[in-house]
């Protein structure tokens, strides 16, 4: 029999990047990946910038291009990404070790899932990330200096 033609309906990158009608955990998943990639990009740039010291270029001295407001703002975004990624990461460690998803239950409609069980943890971690971000904002704005 001849091979039947098919259409590949795999969503690809849009499958995990697309928000659509998904729930809050899906958005947390997308943001976790994006912040992870952003931190990785910053890390690579950081290596490049610090490695320039080998050729005698000190790019972090006062008045250099890296001290322009746009770079300060960029650093703040990296800090925000770190705050989110770190606290959401703690949640994921607890969840992925099966510690915050609850035991299997009899499925009775309307169904309660592990998403409901871990939701308070998600909210707590986001509140902690928000507090951490707020405290960091004072540092970036130079409040109290």
Partner 1 sequence: MTENTNNSRPITFHVTRYNPESDRKPYIKSYTVPVRAGMTVLDGLHYIKENLDPTLAWRFSCRMGVCGSCGMLLNGHPTLACNTQILHIADTDLTVGPLPNFEIIRDLVPDLMTMFEKHRSINPHIVRTDEKELNTPEGEFYQTPEQLEKFLQFTYCIKCGCCMGACPTLATDVHYLGPMPLAAAERYDNDSRDDGWRDRHQLTGSAHGAFRCHYAGECSRVCPKGVDPARAIQHLKRQLVLDYLHLARKKKPCAMLHGPGEGKLLANIPAAPAKTV
CB–CB of 59/52 below 8 Å?
Answer: yes
**Contacts with partner 1, 60-99, as mask; x by CB under 8 A:** --------------------------------x--xxxxx
Give the residue, chosen from 56, 63, 69, 107, that forms a contact with partner 1 under the rule CB under 8 A: 107
Q: Which candidate, 18, 145, 138, 14, places its Cα nearest to that of 76?
A: 138
2 is an interface residue for partner 1 by CB under 8 A: no
CA distance 142 to 145: 6
To the nearest whole angstrom, how small is the minimum distance from the Cβ of residue 83 to partner 1? 19
145 is an interface residue for partner 1 by CB under 8 A: no
* Cβ contacts of 124-131, under 8 Å, gap ≥ 24: 125/87, 125/88, 125/90, 125/91, 126/87, 126/88, 128/87, 129/83, 129/84, 129/86, 129/87, 129/88
The continuous run of DSSP H or E covering 109 comes out as: none
Give the residue, chosen from 1, 9, 48, 69, that forms a contact with partner 1 under the rule CB under 8 A: 9
If the CB atoms of residues 89 and 136 are measured against partner 1, the closer one turns out to be 89
Find out whether the peptide bond into 42 is cis, omega within 30 degrees of 0.
Answer: no
If the CB atoms of residues 23 and 138 are measured against partner 1, the closer one turns out to be 23
Q: Which stretch binds partner 1 (CB under 8 A): 28-36, 38-46, 51-59, 133-141?
A: 28-36
List interacting residues with partner 1 (CB under 8 A): 4-16, 20-23, 25-26, 29-30, 32-33, 92, 95-99, 101-109, 111, 113-115
């Amino acid at each position: 029999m001849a091979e039947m033609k098919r259409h590949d309906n795999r969503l690809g990158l849009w499958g995990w990047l697309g928000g659509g009608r998904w729930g809050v955990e899906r958005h947390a998943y997308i943001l976790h990946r994006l912040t992870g990639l952003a931190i990785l990009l910053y890390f690579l740039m950081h290596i490049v910038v610090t490695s320039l010291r080998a050729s005698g270029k000190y790019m972090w001295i006062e008045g250099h291009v890296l001290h322009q407001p746009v770079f300060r703002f960029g650093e703040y975004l990296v800090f925000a990404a770190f705050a989110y990624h770190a606290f959401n990461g703690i949640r994921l460690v607890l969840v992925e070790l099966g510690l915050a998803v609850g035991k299997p239950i009899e499925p009775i409609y309307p169904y309660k899932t592990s998403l409901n069980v871990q939701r308070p943890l998600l909210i707590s971690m986001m509140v902690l990330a928000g507090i951490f971000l707020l405290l960091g904002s004072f540092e970036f704005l130079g409040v109290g200096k």
